[in-house]
Amino acid sequence: MQGHEPPPATPAGSAAAPEGAPPVPDQADLTEAVRQLKRASVLVVGDAMLDRYVYGAVRRISPEAPVPVLAVEREVAMPGGAGNVVRNLTALGAAVAFLSVVGDDQAGSDLTGLVGGQPGVEPWLLVQGGRATTTKTRYIASGQQMLRADHEIIRPVHQRLADRLVRIATDTVAATSVMVLSDYSKGVLAGDVPARLIAAAKAAGRRVVVDPKGEDFSRYAGADIITPNRAELALASGLPIDSEEEIVAAARALRDRHGFGAVLVTRSEDGMTLLEGDAVHHFPAEAPEVHDVSGAGDTAVAVLAAGMAAGLSLPLAARIANIAGGLVVGKVGTAVARESDLLEALTPERGALRKVLRRAAAAEQVERWRQRGWRVGFTNGCFDLLHPGHVHLLEQARSWCDRLVVGLNADSSVKRLKGPTRPIQPEAARAAVLASLATVDLVTLFEEDTPVELIHLLRPDVLVKGADYTVDQVVGGELVQEWGGVVKLAELLPGNSTTATVARMRG
């Protein structure tokens, strides 16, 4: 990760606004600001956790005790805590250095692998013998969380590890533009560690964003911005926070007491309030619907830090962080906001094209459907010149599921399979036509010759191909059947063929 000075601040491009109102950049300014987030380089220091999700079905009550029996179907693990801040930063395309402490256990090994496997991350996960890596395991059935089990040790890390962590941060901070302290009160940022880290950042001329915990905010004195939620603000300030005026007064008291540069209060369904200098900006909530608030604070901190690192003004960075927070609470589980998500939120007029998603975003969407108990179907093809045979197949496929995903061969894949003169239409046009069909709920492209990797990622309940195949010939059929899904063969309409159509066009 190469050191560099933060780029110059980008004008907010705001129109005239009433005193106390946030700047109102137009859509072009917001879109350009979002695209700059990938330029960010951020150092994250804090409590890393392992989030495990165990999904299954409940069909009976245990004969041993009056408790439901969860028939486990699959398990998912991902970085949590400060690791989720890192995950959100990498989702934006930012470069990240990450410093934390894990235990010498399997969870620590798993977490190290998950963090190190993310693009653009330079991980420094120090290992403390005898310490349990914080692990939160959630048991979920039919989209509802039944139980959460936590495995952790909440006490300061060994002093020698704390000293080593500060030394590494001191050496690393100059190679980044912003330092984030993500405190979950698990022991990494205990004692004087935050003060030493803030001093190191200031000595390097770098700004510090703190996501705090507890009631003693003096530990973060001198931070450039602190991001408490409403409850944390009340606890740390000792003041009432029942109105906007009281929230501003409490934020101002904290700022003046501890020398913070600014305070961004996250207020759940009421949005955010930013106190910067004498200016107060209120950002209304941007969430169209709320499914899960898990990790929304991490997303807001990550986007805020990326915006600051990319040179955006603080109100503009906070505005985008507010939009990002609204996006993730509309998703199920600990989610992230990608550049594509933010751009889509800023351009709702895209209409049917909103169904066209990159692979990772498609996997998240399928997971949200699955959490709602919906049956997900999948079919694939080149769909070069859409004809009645294609439409008939898609109609049948949609009748066998609640939501239908179409895996579309990318141009490179079509050329390898069909020859150098194909496709007739480029992938963007083919995807747009498919997305315009009411029977299609999501379109995602794959570069490979077969969709097996995509099928493995999405784990559909129903896999559909034309009846010119047999079940044992369908690519991915064995996989789908292994996890309890089914393979369906759709009836074909005779006389419909893209290859024959192309031949007729060419005489």
> Does the pLDDT at position 184 exceed 80?
yes
Q: What is the largest CA-CA distance in the chain?
A: 82
Look at residue 237 in the predicted model and tell me its pLDDT: 95
Q: How confident is the model at residue 351 (pLDDT cuts 50, 70, 90)?
A: low
> Does the pLDDT at position 21 exceed 50?
no
Look at residue 421 in the predicted model and tell me its pLDDT: 85
> Does the pLDDT at position 69 exceed 60?
yes
Task: Please compute the mean of the pLDDT values over residues 208-217 and round it to a whole number.
Answer: 95
Task: Please compute the mean of the pLDDT values over residues 98-109 and round it to a whole number.
Answer: 96
Which residues, 6 or more positions from 163, have their beta carbon under 8 angstroms from its beta carbon?
none
Angle at 311 between CA 306 and CA 312, to 5 degrees: 80
Q: Which two tokens stand for residue 1?
A: 């990760």
**Separation CA 364–CA 295 (nearest Å):** 15
Which range has highest mean pLDDT (11-25, 208-222, 284-298, 493-507)?
Answer: 208-222
416-458 per-position pLDDT tens digit: 998 888 888 899 999 999 998 989 999 999 999 999 999 999 9
Q: Which amino acid is at 488?
A: K
Percent of the chain with pLDDT over 70: 88
Nearest to 453 by CA among 407, 413, 415, 411: 407
C-beta separation of 45 from 169 below 8 A? yes
Is 256 an active-site residue?
no
Look at residue 26 in the predicted model and tell me its pLDDT: 63
Tokens 């000075």 — which residue? 5
Task: Please compute the mean of the pLDDT values over residues 206-219 and round it to a whole number.
Answer: 95
Class of domain 27-346: alpha beta
> Does the pLDDT at position 248 exceed 50?
yes
Which residues, 6 or more positions from 365, have their beta carbon under 8 angstroms from its beta carbon?
357, 442
Q: Which of 211, 298, 341, 441 is catalytic?
A: 298
> Does the pLDDT at position 204 exceed 60?
yes
Look at residue 504 in the predicted model and tell me its pLDDT: 56
> Does the pLDDT at position 17 exceed 50?
no
**Cis amide bond preceding 156, omega within 30:** no
Q: Which two tokens stand for residue 482?
A: 């292994």
C-beta separation of 4 from 295 below 8 A? no
Strands (E), 243-349: 262-266, 272-276, 279-283
pTM of the model: 0.73
Look at residue 489 in the predicted model and tell me its pLDDT: 93
Q: Which two tokens stand for residue 138?
A: 């959630």
**Separation CA 301–CA 362 (nearest Å):** 24
The domain 351-506 is placed in CATH, from the list 3.30.360.10, 3.40.50.970, 3.10.450.240, 3.40.50.620, at: 3.40.50.620
Look at residue 498 in the predicted model and tell me its pLDDT: 61
135-178 per-position pLDDT tens digit: 999 998 877 889 999 999 899 999 999 999 999 999 999 999 99
230 is in an annotated binding site: yes
Where are the chain's structural domains? 27-346, 351-506
- Give the DSSP letter of residue 175: G
